[in-house]
Amino acid sequence: MAIANRASAGSGTAGTSTYRNFYHGRGIAIWGGYYLNLHNNEVYDCPNSGIRLNNSDYARISYNTVYNNTWWSYNGESGIVIAQSLNRDADNTNTKIKMRIENNITYANINKLVYYNPSYACEDGSGNYDTTLDSYACGGRNKIVDGSGCYITRNAWDSDDSGGSNPNYFTNVSGSSREESGDNKYYGTFLFANNVSYANGMNGVVVHKTDYANVYNNTVYGNGEVPSTGDPDWGNYSDTWKSALGAGRQNYSGIVVHSSSNVNVLNNISEARFGNDTAFVNYVESGWVVENVSFGSSKNLAGTTGNVAGGNQSLSSSDFTEANPQFVDATNNTLSSRDYSLSIGSPAIDHIASDQSYESDFDISGVSRPQGNGFDMGAYERLNTWDGSESTAWTTADNWSAGVVPTAGRSPLIVNASNAPQITTTVSLKDLTINSGGSLTIATNGSLNINGTLTNSGSLTINGTVNID
């Protein structure tokens, strides 16, 4: 029925689609809101986007799990979307972070129908509606190009829109009288940080026609569920919806910057889905002029599947670290059970120097950064864990998984080990977790100061002093 719904929409004159409510509707949708905090929601099984903001300003979308959305609508949708942001005050600084997408998990948000919009210009040379025109959003289109995990779009002014898609094109609106703005732009920076995005239809994170965006510490893996020509899935359909496609998606399945300026992409992990896919992309549409797009140098990690870097801009694979990120469980058939934290020995651990100003203070689990000699790449910071491989001495670096003795601001983990740790001096930490089976002794000459939280599921013997602020 969903396919029939889309087919009927593309079979007649523009605007005559048969509208079935069953295939429309978003999970959380806000038009024109500002000072928004969308926090700790689980959004799933919605025909369109899980979370979408349009014409908004000053928003934080954080700690949400968004999955199994966008399947059966013929609208071009993604898991989390911010589009056409609107200035709500006179602040014209671009460096202020106003729109945040942080600490979210998005997966299995897939467009299974080709995008169709009867209001698009789909006329033939005589001005009649052309049901066979193979252009974006037109009735003859047979290629899926939407359905990503996190997606920001059309927040920069497009001269071709004539103000149609950018709400900042006009400054004064009174009745039917509108005055053109002299600036035509949205002010403020967008931040993607500590998001995990996997098994979505197209890409994990997309910055599309949006200026001033920072993409930091995200983990993107195995997106591109929509088949592309040449993929193993192409022509070997296990799902009926794939057989309706006449053309494959573009060969991107990672982090994409599209026609955007002043974008920083740093300390991310992105692994493409198939061998002909690309993990990091910088692409500029014809007619657009962009500047200052930075992927750093060896400050992003690409997995070992597919191509590292692509697009039509100067982006070299030599600027990336290519290695297996060694996730704990990246391919579990139960998508909700996958674990994209880092295993011991991952090349993403301590990869970035600890003095980088762009780093997040915490990871997606609330673990403070850094834990070792540097920051870990991706959304997860691996806890510095006691292994007691050398002795019981807290101050011996080789007794710790990171090879570093935890100090103030760090949050180590104590687990069951043959040599249980003893503190015989003054130790200051942010947080401390003692797992079941783990034990810690504070000797008579020892002192433990915690400026955060002590979580004790094991054994803590105090012969000295413990202070918790």
- Adjacent-strand bridge partners of 43: 66
Q: State the pLDDT at residue 310.
A: 92
pLDDT tens digits along 48-99:
999 999 999 999 999 999 999 999 888 889 999 999 999 988 888 898 999 9
pLDDT of residue 119: 66
Q: What is the pLDDT of residue 256?
A: 98
User: What are φ and ψ of residue 264, in 5° steps?
Assistant: -115, 125
- What whole-number distance in Å separates Cα of residue 101 and Cα of residue 116? 27
pLDDT of res. 355: 61
Distance set, CA 96 to CA 91, 93, 186 (Å): 9, 6, 12
pTM of model > 0.85: yes
Q: Which of helix, strand or coil describes residue 260?
A: coil
Show the low-confidence residues of the chain (pLDDT under 50). 10-17, 162-163, 173-179
pLDDT at 243: 79
Q: Is there a contact between 463 and 443 (Cβ–Cβ < 8 Å)?
A: yes
- Residue corresponding to tokens 């040599």: 419
Tokens found for residue 467: 């202070």
Measured from the Cβ of residue 307, the count of other Cβ atoms closer than 10 Å reads 19
